Amino acid sequence: MTSRLLVAIPGIAIILLAVALGGPVFALFALAVAIGALFEFYALTAAFMPLRAAGYATAVAAVLLALWVTPSERAIILALALGLLFAALAALRLSNREEITLRVGTTLFGAMYIAFPVGVLVLMRGLPDGAGVIVNLLVGVWMFDTFSYVGGKLWGARPIAPRTSPNKTWEGFITGLVGGTLGVFVAGLYMDWINGWQSLVVGVVICLTAFIGDLFESMIKRDAGVKDSGRILMGHGGVLDRFDSLLFASLGTYLVTVWLIF
């Protein structure tokens, strides 16, 4: 618990400061998350020999293009195109082409899984009232995780995904869904750009996509035979462990917010 608090308290402060400042500061924070998560992902998939430099270059492209290119959606298309180009060039430079399809596929999988959602995070901060959109995302993910944990501890009896994450239960999921959605609803009461029913819809989407993101990373770790993606955040595990839910939830938040409001 002590190690968790030592990481969580300054970590939350840094995240909120980056969100408040926006622009290059938020982009730099997002890039640090992307590089850290990609490093851990490529460590988990090291047996497949990913072309790591190409993945890191894709993350840099996704963040910088999302910050500078307009219209914003074009930035992500360009980043994905560059990611494919980077992987192809890295592969063509190799003298040993053994299992090259697997290596390129693993490289691009990491870029799609991590660099793409992080680029969307930067797009999201650039929206009108983008700081509020990010706050909704953070509140929804954090509240969902917290209430899921509490609900699972108090009432958990029926596993929801026993082959992927045996400790997750239907009771914890439902508690997290209700708590996370209500958290976004309450946050929306202090925002003049979103109304009550929109907050509820956004909250539900955040919770559902956060849950999928959490399960997805659990599946990858189970396949790799590890408990945590890393140890850099001490009791919290690795960067990917802390941001797995947020990666998927960022996509859901962006899509539903733009669809409903902007």
Distance CA 91, CA 97 (A): 8
pLDDT digits 0-9 by tens, 11-20:
788 999 999 9
- Among residues 101, 125, 149, which one ends one of the domains? 125
Assign 49 to helix, strand or coil.
coil
> pLDDT band at residue 234, thresholds of 50, 70 and 90?
low
Distance CA 46, CA 138 (A): 31
What is the extent of the structural domain holding 211? Answer: 1-21+129-262
Whether 113 and 213 share a structural domain: no
159: β partners: 169
Whether 133 and 220 share a structural domain: yes
- Model confidence at 237: pLDDT above 80: no
Residues 6+ positions from 8 with CB-CB distance below 8 Å: 236
The DSSP line for 80-99 is HHHHHHHHHHHHHT-S--TT
Distance CA 34, CA 113 (A): 10
> pLDDT band at residue 7, thresholds of 50, 70 and 90?
low
Distance CA 125, CA 29 (A): 12
pLDDT digits 0-9 by tens, 58-74:
999 999 999 999 888 89
- Model confidence at 113: pLDDT above 90: yes
Whether 121 and 240 share a structural domain: no
- Among residues 96, 125, 154, which one ends one of the domains? 125
User: How many structural domains is the chain composed of?
Assistant: 2
Whether 14 and 105 share a structural domain: no
Whether 73 and 162 share a structural domain: no
Of residues 235 and 52, the one with the higher pLDDT is: 52
Distance CA 209, CA 106 (A): 23
Query: What is the pLDDT averaged over residues 19-23?
Result: 96
- Among residues 90, 125, 160, which one ends one of the domains? 125
Whether 97 and 203 share a structural domain: no
Whether 50 and 143 share a structural domain: no
pLDDT digits 0-9 by tens, 129-138:
999 999 999 9
Whether 104 and 216 share a structural domain: no
- Closest by CA to 210, choosing from 183, 189, 237, 230, is 183
Predicted pLDDT of residue 107: 97
For the chain, give the mean pLDDT.
92
- Model confidence at 174: pLDDT above 80: yes
Whether 17 and 141 share a structural domain: yes
Whether 102 and 206 share a structural domain: no
- Model confidence at 27: pLDDT above 70: yes
Distance CA 80, CA 149 (A): 35
Number of H helices, E strands in the chain: 10, 0
Whether 78 and 153 share a structural domain: no
- Closest by CA to 114, choosing from 53, 50, 63, is 63
Whether 138 and 230 share a structural domain: yes
- Biggest CA–CA distance in the chain, Å, is 59
- Model confidence at 232: pLDDT above 70: no
